[in-house]
Homo-oligomer: A and B are copies of this chain.
Amino acid sequence: MADEALFQFLHSEIIQYVNSAEPGESENGRCVSKLENMGFRVGQGLIERFTKDTPRFKDELDVMKFICKDFWTSVFKKQIDNLRTNHQGIYVLQDNKFHLLTQLSAGKQYLEHAPKFLAFTCGLVRGALSNLGVKSIVTAEVSVMPACKFQVMIQKM
């Protein structure tokens, strides 16, 4: 519980600070992109540590399963609830109770602020995948808080 709280509070501080340090920009502007970049570098660092003693992954799906289970559990203390794919390079990771949205009031009232609370994690996933040799674009959407879907589009090299 302690670690969860530390991460949650730090994450909030970062959002608040980045938001105030990038003035005059729209919700989906530089603030979100800065947060995404931070997440990317943290994801790169984390995945190196996490996979230090892991056997080589069989394929892309194997990598995605690792992200949904081991990686997600390490960072968010729970697994992804649902992983779907069209087998053509698109994966949808659904978290029914996303850790970093739980401190926001549910309801539609704060939906517009959701992108800021998801940007870091989008970057985190992209960074982790990137260091496993999978280039991707990661986006997120919320329909009902605190549930959340991350869409990973693999970029074929």
B17 touches A34 (CB 8 A): yes
- CB–CB B6/A50 < 8 A: no
A6 contact from B2, B7, B17, B34, Cβ within 8 A: B7
Shortest beta-carbon distance from A7 to chain B in Å = 6
Which of the segments A37-45, A58-66, A84-92, A105-113 contacts the partner chain? Answer: A37-45
What mask results when residues 30 to 59 of chain A are scored 1 for a CB within 8 Å of chain B, else 0? 000010001001100110011000000000
Interface size class of A (residues with CB under 8 A): 20 to 34
Which of B1, B5, B7 lies in contact with A10, CB distance below 8 A? B7
**Chain A window 109-120, contacts with chain B (Cβ cutoff 8 Å), 1 for yes, 0 for no:** 000000000000
Residues of B within 8 A of A74 (CB): 2-3, 6
* A4 CB → nearest B CB, Å: 9
A157 within 8 A of B: no
Cβ of A13 under 8 Å from chain B = yes
Binding site for B on A (CB under 8 A): 1-3, 5-7, 9-11, 13-14, 17-18, 21, 34, 38, 41-42, 45-46, 49-50, 74-75
